[in-house]
Amino acid sequence: MQGTAPITFQEAISLHRKGDLRAAEAAYQALLATSPNHPFLLGQLGALTLKQGRGSEAERLLGRALAAGGNPRIRLCNLQRYLCLIMRHKDREDEARSLVAPGVPDCPQGVKPNPAERNLLLSLAQSLIALNQPQQGVRLLDQAFPDRAKDAGVLYIEGRLRLALEDAESAVRLLERAVKLAPKWPGPLIALSAAQARMDRGAEAHQTLKIIDRRFPYFRRSRPKSQVPTILVLNPLREIEDPGTTIERLHFRFNHPADFQVRMKDKYGFLSVFGTIEPNLSPWEADEPSIILNNLVDEMEMSLPGSVERVRALVDRIGVPVINSPEAVAQVSREKNAEALAGIPDLKVPRMAQYRLAEGDIEPVIADIGRTFGYPVILRHP
């Protein structure tokens, strides 16, 4: 009786790529039985166990993979996998920085990365931004992607690296090219708006924000069909400070109602629509939301003429019950809250007032604050 043919590297990788993780894990283990310190196999098995949520085992395997070394391409990939694992924990950021501070391995020039390597290298460059090593990130891109003029993904990462190096002008040029190459990808637009704002080009940053609003006004979280009901959150779109934020975080980034989709995602499905969505669009119809949660609650914005009517028209278009109706929101202000809470024993409520300043009209305001409140006071610019 003939024995079973030994598994090969290519067969193990093929099983992994097909998503047959159990068979792939068995194949990697069989190969490691004869090569226990093989950096590529250890890295692949570490990535597989990490994907399965076995973090401690993945860390042990990836630590062994890094210690085993290997050629520069393998070392770079294993470094990013390990960084990805430990950077999930804020208390391990110093450990992550110490790994890259001496410098990351050189990427062999003249060897085009395969798709999996490409994704890992771009992810590593993003990690270097987070770890305050943008110069190393630029060097990595120069080595791995010398011909990147038509690669939106690489241009996007390089734009963010240049922005981290405080070269906002170069960042804007790179990100503008990335936007032209990939107009349906929100990442370059988000980073471009942040870069324009850093250059004090506020009008251009706002115009880019309007493009994001037109192209990506609706966000749908993937969710199991069993998750009901579905909550549609009306969210604001505001100026972008973090160039690395995602369209999901852009939709769900303000206050507790926006956080519901994280804390209650196992119980409800969540959708988001920007409150400025064009009146001829109704992307929520196929998702059949059960209820609206109105997160358009900024006091100053809702006090502007027509704001309540605009939000009410959007609620009526969606056609399901709303929590936090726009009319109720418009009745709430800091001053009214202070008035409602005044007089409660042992509760100190600061008095509040709003002043609208005309150019050169600051002295009368200062005098009125002194007469009405006295000093010191807290001043906020809305």
User: Could you read off the pLDDT of 18-60 as tens digits, one per residue?
Assistant: 889 899 999 999 999 999 999 999 999 999 999 888 989 999 9
Mean pLDDT of 289-295: 93
User: Could you read off the pLDDT of 232-280 as tens digits, one per residue?
Assistant: 999 999 899 999 999 999 998 766 666 777 778 778 888 999 999 999 9
User: Could you read off the pLDDT of 179-221 as tens digits, one per residue?
Assistant: 999 999 999 999 999 999 999 999 999 999 999 999 999 998 7
Please name the amino acid found at residue 49.
T
d(Cα 204, Cα 227) in Å, to the nearest integer?
A: 41
d(Cα 67, Cα 54) in Å, to the nearest integer?
A: 20
d(Cα 357, Cα 348) in Å, to the nearest integer?
A: 28
Cβ–Cβ < 8 Å for 172, 141: no
Instruction: State the burial class of residue 117 (Cβ atoms within 10 Å of its Cβ: 0-12, 13-18, 19+).
Output: middle
d(Cα 11, Cα 325) in Å, to the nearest integer?
A: 58
User: Could you read off the pLDDT of 105-154 as tens digits, one per residue?
Assistant: 998 877 889 888 899 899 999 999 999 999 999 999 999 999 999 999 99
pLDDT band at 349 (very low <50, low <70, confident <90, very high): confident
How far apart, in Å, do the first and last CA atoms of the chain sit? Answer: 82
Residue 224 pLDDT > 60: no
Q: Where are the domains of the chain?
A: 1-65, 71-130, 147-216, 218-332, 348-372
Mean pLDDT of 155-176: 97
Contact partners, residue 281, CB within 8 Å, separation at least 6: 217, 218
The pLDDT value given to residue 209: 96
* Superfamily of 1-65 according to CATH: Tetratricopeptide repeat domain (1.25.40.10)
**With a threshold of 0.85, does the pTM exceed it?**
no
Name the CATH architecture for the domain at 147-216: Alpha Horseshoe (1.25)
Residue 222 pLDDT > 70: no
CA 294 to chain centre: 22
The pLDDT value given to residue 2: 47
pLDDT band at 355 (very low <50, low <70, confident <90, very high): confident
Instruction: State the burial class of residue 7 (Cβ atoms within 10 Å of its Cβ: 0-12, 13-18, 19+).
Output: middle
Query: Phi, psi at residue 50, to the nearest 5°?
Result: -65, -40
The pLDDT value given to residue 131: 94
User: Could you read off the pLDDT of 304-338 as tens digits, one per residue?
Assistant: 889 999 999 999 999 999 999 999 888 877 777 77
Instruction: State the burial class of residue 182 (Cβ atoms within 10 Å of its Cβ: 0-12, 13-18, 19+).
Output: middle
> For residue 370, how many C-alpha atoms fall within 13 Å in the half-sphere facing its CB?
6
Mean per-residue pLDDT of the chain: 88
d(Cα 297, Cα 250) in Å, to the nearest integer?
A: 16
